Chain A
Amino acid sequence: MMNSSNATLLDGRIAAQAVGVAFRKLDPRLLFRNPVMFVTAIVALLTSLIFVRDLVQGADVLLTGQIAAWLWFTVLFANFAEAVAEGRGKAQAASLRRTRTETMARKLASIEATACESVAAASLRAGDLVLVEAGDTIPGDGEVVDGIATVNESAITGESAPVIRESGGDRSAVTGGTLVVSDRIVVRITANPGESFLDRMIALVEGAKRQKTPNEIALTILLVGMTIIFLLVTVTLQGFALYTGFLIPVVFLVALLVTLIPTTIGGLLSAIGIAGMDRLVKFNVIAKSGRAVEAAGDIDVLLLDKTGTITLGNRQAAEFLPLTGVQEHELAEAALLSSLADETPEGRSIVALARQRAGIALPADRSGMVFVAFTAQTRMSGVDLGDRRIRKGAVDRMRAWMEEQASIGPAQGRELTGLVERVARSGGTPLVVADGRRLLGVIYLKDIVKPGIRERFATLRQMGIRTVMITGDNPLTAAAIAAEAGVDDFLAEATPELKLERIRQYQAEGRLVAMCGDGSNDAPALAQADVGVAMNTGTQAAREAGNMVDLDSDPTKLIEIVMIGKQLLMSRGALTTFSIANDVAKYFAIIPALFVAAYPPLQALNIMALHSPASAILSAIIFNALVIIFLIPLALKGVRYRPAPAASLLARNLLLYGLGGLVVPFLGIKLIDLAVTALGLV
């Protein structure tokens, strides 16, 4: 189970491995991916060469040696940060991989075929058919094309109760590594080796094939630009020094360069990205790309299905509302009889209510009863008892049915309309019950809004995210539930086409839309949405269309996903700001140190009262290296995110990372200066 693998922030074992990896990452081909660190490594190499030259010539190399060492440390610390993030990812990946034990698969030539061939699961390709029976492990991601089975998916989701998987319908997708508990199914494999969700996720959390996300690319460009600017600053400074009549030692210029270029954020950037993916996995969400996670932070509109997300699973029958002249008992009996053939939870709740409320017994003898089963198309069910034709169903359906039998009297019609509207306005769903030509009354199906959901929507509103409830209910019912749950908007009588159209409409307005879905008919909308989260219990079509899969199949998790996306961006922004703000203090350490010999009055700029030029430069470079180590936990954990309007988030973060970034290095450099002086390192 993945939740158990929550490694502590700096697990000793991971850290120990990361140290080794940090050295291996000195490979120039790997370093080149990170321009800031590449420049740092080059100047570290240059300084080392100077160190060797001076050593050979017998010059004083104490300072040069230390600077060279700290420059290498800077690169290593950055590599270490990345290695730790990857290490934690690998730990996650290992637990993901454990679910994919090497199994054998029974490959079928066709659905009808009876003979099967035993092959290694790893050799299966998309399109292959395999037979899986009780006790077998499903060999790969796929879709049930024949049969029905209960499957234990605890290996993936941590949920121990087995679930039903069957061909057709919305519960046809199966995941490799899960266990069939009963029955037999034929599965069509949908992923080639190495391309399954798990494989993709493993690659993402390990950081091996990590593609930079759009925002990360933009930030890298900024960092490269700043590096170029500071290269220019440093190189030209030698010219100005020459004019002034002295030469700045190359080692000092190097120190200036490395302290100015944004090594802090440059060193931690990829660690932040990897850790973001990692956090997502901990929430049992698999993302197909980092881009999707980043997009989640930008979401403006959340489309949420009402059922299961906003309201507690299924509607429950709550009340029988008879028309004038009809006894409640009579209505309850008809409701019970007509619902016997309705196996939906709603149907069962009607039967239960009739038994409890009206004390009606289930008919012992069902001979002579011809049942009309409930279907999604007819949206009604019933029973024929000789001449009696008892029916219950959705209002429009029942009206149509009644019209076929006989016209409804105007008074009855008005009364029915009144009852229906009363139910709808209070957020319930009305079902109409009739016995042949006789209209009996209305069943009140109540929708129960999940406790605490209102507060969550209020939070989202604070974050600037609009919530839209999607429901098949009529507009009146939808409006009532929307008001009770506190969503901003709703889409009533939703069809897949309407959903898609609504998403496109929001996108045309420039909004980014997230939604979750599970059914095949959700696939177009999931693909259209900027962030589409498919439920793991859903169809393979839905899982392919979305860009994330929630292993727990919990629609409210969209909210967490959005927060993780935001946290990812915030962490980058905060550390960039911190990195740039740090430069101010470094200037006040290094500039007087470089120039005080030429212009003694420049000592006035040494506001930290650092001991000597040598100690000032060394302290700045040590601070620059150590700050990377100190910020690794922040990079891995992410900047704290509390839902709040952007203005207050900005104010808080600017204060913390902007102002903090200005002040902290003054203190840090001063302390290090005291230390290196006391230790006699300069």
Chain B
Amino acid sequence: MTADGILQILFTLALLALLTPLFGGYMARVFAGERTWLSPLVGPVERGLYRLAGIDPAKEQHWTSYTLALLAFNLLGLLLLYAVLRLQGWLPLNPAGLGAVSPDLAFNTAISFTSNTNWQAYGGESTLSYFSQMVGLTVQNFVSAATGFAVAVALIRGFARRSGRTVGNFWADLVRATLYVLLPLAFVSAIFLVWQGVPQNFGAYVSANTLEGAQQILAQGPVASQIAIKQLGSNGGGFFNVNSAHPYENTTALSNLIQTLYLLLLASALVYSFGRMVKDTRQGWALWAAMSIMLVTGIGVTYWAEAQGNPAIAALGVNDTASESNSGGNMEGKEVRFGTALSSLWAVSTTAASNGSVNAMHDSFTPIGGLVPMANIMLGEVIFGGVGAGLYGMLVFVILAVFIAGLMVGRTPEYLGKKIEAKEIKLALLAVLVYPVCILGGAALTAVIPSALASVANAGPHGLSEILYAYASGTGNNGSAFAGFNANTLYHNSMIGLAMLLGRFAVIVPTLAIAGSLVTKKTLPASAGTFPTHGGLFIGLLIATIVIVGGLTFFPALALGPIAEHLSLQAGTLFGAIP
């Protein structure tokens, strides 16, 4: 670890903290339907859309109609995207002449992008046309992020309103999130990225001669517009196969800073909006603090592990000591431009945030360095998390934490004045159960089905890590991968597709049901008998609940994966690749 590295990390996080209330305050106004400084510009478009669709944004929905609207909208998006991918060969903007995407891959990719996962079982530039990327993927990048916002906002209303019946209007929330938050910010950012040298064209792929005299095809395309939203909307699906490690996708130090910041920005800001919307910013800051503490700890561990390097490689006489010309540590699978510090920062942030874009290959991290991103996903991506998804996931954990510990103050547990009762516990558990079912279930099936197991690239515990990571990433709607794992098979396309679907919607439905149940409840006034949920005690309790519940669920599997790998590596045992 170098002072430089630590400074770069702290600078990025400080920037995040500064921008959080700024964006959060703005978003709170947007979701309350209040006027903002963008209203003169966007308002007419918004109203036009409502008129066109015949929607009255002021007409609020019961949680069931809210959920049905959300599911219907997402199903339509899924089918449309599937159609675009299957019909790619006949559609325009296809200079590379790419053919139809295979049914299972199209199924997987369509789910992947509607569920805000952006798991990419394909290589972007070698599989998808410009049309598929722009009309298919980028559209879903916007609306899947907006869907996440909508769910979170509905849940916040569940807490904030007293004795209500409705949780908001899905269409209005969807449109507002897109028009007031995602589109303007993505637009400005895309232009910024173009300035930083990211391509934005419909040109054919360019052929170039390398210094070694070899021929190389340089892929082109409307890259900048997709990158902006892939980062902002916690999507993560890169234009190119190697994602933000590609020099066209992530051109400069400045573009890397902005992209890292964007991994967390909107999710972090929404936590502040939460505080504003429940009329007690301390509540927002408490969740923010819990998230930040876990984030910083994770970054610290990964950076430490990566900076330590790989003892087996060091033993071969490779110099991995940090110096002026060498970032030091474990550089396998990392961009020399970013080094261990910025790669660790990105890896931990992208998995905390359910984003899944990468600027280094997680598969090549040291066992402990890779354990942290995997654990981030397994804990439910509640450390800021996906836009909206992180907050509602965190609130589900809050419900559990408050219930377990809240009983210890001798009252029926409550959060923000809403009683947490059997119904909420049942629904919260349903949401939490999705993770062990899909991650452990999916990974265990892979481990025992020989044909599924063939996708694994490495022998020994690292192979298990690859499997676990794949199913964790799918279920958690993250989308990053231990890329040695060959996911593009009929089996894994189908199973990971299913995991993504459940990981998204089997969590969203109970969450909205919680919102529907909470919104009808009275708000109990706080008193000395109420357990305060804004202090250090609560923050510690929340972190402990997340770590213990998550840890208890995944520790045995992790012990056979990264932990066994780490201890073996320290003991000098290597496992090698599968021949």
Chain A residues proximal to chain B, CB less than 8 Å? 214-215, 217-219, 221-222, 225, 228-230, 232-233, 235-244, 256, 260, 294, 297-298, 300, 461-466, 508-512, 565-567, 569-570, 572-574, 576-577, 580-581, 583-584, 587, 591, 594-595, 598-602, 604-605, 639, 641, 645-647, 649-651, 653-654, 657-658
Contact: B448 with A242, CB < 8 Å?
yes
| Chain A residue with Cβ nearest B407 | A573
> How many angstroms between the C-alpha atoms of A624 and B80 in the bound complex?
54
Among listed B70-78, B200-208, B556-564, interface-contacting one: B556-564
| Residues of A close to B164: CB separation below 8 A | none
| Residues of A close to B561: CB separation below 8 A | 240
Within 8 A of A (CB), among B269-306: none
Contact of A232 among B405, B411, B437, B568 (CB under 8 A): B437
Answer yes or no: B441 CB below 8 A from chain A CBs: yes
| Chain A residue with Cβ nearest B440 | A236
Distance in angstroms from A606 CB to nearest chain B CB is 11
> How many angstroms between the C-alpha atoms of A243 and B563 in the bound complex?
16
Answer yes or no: B96 CB below 8 A from chain A CBs: no
- With contacts A242-B448, A599-B564, A654-B405 taken as known, whether A641 is within 8 angstroms of B529 at the C-beta atoms is no
Contact: B555 with A218, CB < 8 Å?
no
Distance in angstroms from B107 CB to nearest chain A CB is 25
Contact of B407 among A232, A462, A572, A605 (CB under 8 A): A572
Contact: A465 with B529, CB < 8 Å?
yes
Mark each residue of chain B from 23 to 49: 1 if its CB lies under 8 Å from any CB of chain A, else 0: 000000000000000000000000000
Distance in angstroms from A10 CB to nearest chain B CB is 25
> How many angstroms between the C-alpha atoms of A595 and B561 in the bound complex?
11
| Residues of B close to A510: CB separation below 8 A | 162, 417, 522-525
- Which applies to chain A's interface (DSSP): helix, strand, loop or mixed? helix
Contact: B421 with A218, CB < 8 Å?
yes
Contact: B405 with A577, CB < 8 Å?
yes
Contact of B404 among A233, A580, A584 (CB under 8 A): A580
Distance in angstroms from A545 CB to nearest chain B CB is 23
Contact: A464 with B422, CB < 8 Å?
no
Answer yes or no: B103 CB below 8 A from chain A CBs: no
Contact of A239 among B408, B445, B544, B548 (CB under 8 A): B445
- With contacts A215-B407, A240-B447 taken as known, whether A221 is within 8 angstroms of B528 at the C-beta atoms is no
- With contacts A573-B404, A577-B408, A595-B559 taken as known, whether A233 is within 8 angstroms of B422 at the C-beta atoms is no
Contact: A570 with B408, CB < 8 Å?
yes
Contact of A233 among B408, B411, B467, B556 (CB under 8 A): B556
> How many angstroms between the C-alpha atoms of A654 and B541 in the bound complex?
9
Contact: B433 with A228, CB < 8 Å?
yes
Contact: A580 with B529, CB < 8 Å?
no
Answer yes or no: B315 CB below 8 A from chain A CBs: no
| Chain B residue with Cβ nearest A510 | B522
Contact: B440 with A232, CB < 8 Å?
yes
Contact of A583 among B420, B447, B552, B557 (CB under 8 A): B552
| Residues of A close to B429: CB separation below 8 A | 221-222, 225
| Chain A residue with Cβ nearest B417 | A510
> How many angstroms between the C-alpha atoms of A214 and B20 in the bound complex?
40
Contact: A243 with B564, CB < 8 Å?
no
Contact: B404 with A239, CB < 8 Å?
no
Number of A-B residue pairs with CB-CB distance less than 8 Å in the complex they form: 220
Q: Count residues of B near A (Cβ-Cβ below 8 Å).
A: 67
* 29 chain-A/chain-B pairs, Cβ below 8 angstroms: A215-B421, A225-B425, A225-B429, A232-B437, A232-B441, A233-B552, A233-B553, A236-B443, A240-B560, A242-B447, A243-B448, A243-B467, A509-B522, A510-B525, A566-B410, A566-B411, A567-B410, A570-B407, A570-B410, A576-B407, A577-B404, A580-B404, A587-B555, A599-B560, A599-B564, A646-B532, A649-B408, A650-B408, A651-B537
Contact: A298 with B411, CB < 8 Å?
yes
Contact: A641 with B410, CB < 8 Å?
yes
Contact: B524 with A647, CB < 8 Å?
no
Contact: B564 with A569, CB < 8 Å?
no
Within 8 A of A (CB), among B440-472: 440-441, 443-445, 447-448, 453, 461, 463-464, 467
Contact: B557 with A236, CB < 8 Å?
yes
Listed from nearest, the 9 A-B pairs whose CB atoms lie closest are: A464-B529, A573-B407, A566-B410, A239-B444, A464-B527, A225-B429, A601-B567, A236-B444, A243-B447
| Residues of A close to B535: CB separation below 8 A | 647
| Residues of B close to A463: CB separation below 8 A | 528-529
| Residues of A close to B530: CB separation below 8 A | 464, 646
| Residues of B close to A580: CB separation below 8 A | 404, 548-549, 552
| Residues of B close to A594: CB separation below 8 A | 556
Answer yes or no: B337 CB below 8 A from chain A CBs: no
Distance in angstroms from B411 CB to nearest chain A CB is 5
Distance in angstroms from B73 CB to nearest chain A CB is 30
Answer yes or no: B319 CB below 8 A from chain A CBs: no
Contact of A657 among B408, B410, B461, B564 (CB under 8 A): B408
> How many angstroms between the C-alpha atoms of A602 and B570 in the bound complex?
11
> How many angstroms between the C-alpha atoms of A465 and B530 in the bound complex?
10
| Residues of A close to B551: CB separation below 8 A | 584
| Residues of B close to A236: CB separation below 8 A | 436, 440-441, 443-444, 557
> How many angstroms between the C-alpha atoms of A635 and B522 in the bound complex?
32
Contact: B537 with A222, CB < 8 Å?
no
| Residues of A close to B552: CB separation below 8 A | 229-230, 233, 260, 580, 583-584, 587
> How many angstroms between the C-alpha atoms of A297 and B414 in the bound complex?
13
Distance in angstroms from A592 CB to nearest chain B CB is 8
Answer yes or no: B393 CB below 8 A from chain A CBs: no
Contact: B531 with A243, CB < 8 Å?
no
Contact: B560 with A604, CB < 8 Å?
no
Within 8 A of A (CB), among B382-426: 400, 403-412, 417, 420-422, 425-426
Contact of B527 among A241, A256, A466 (CB under 8 A): A466
Within 8 A of A (CB), among B495-530: 522-525, 527-530
Distance in angstroms from A657 CB to nearest chain B CB is 7
| Residues of B close to A512: CB separation below 8 A | 524
| Residues of B close to A599: CB separation below 8 A | 461, 560, 564, 567-568
Answer yes or no: B573 CB below 8 A from chain A CBs: yes
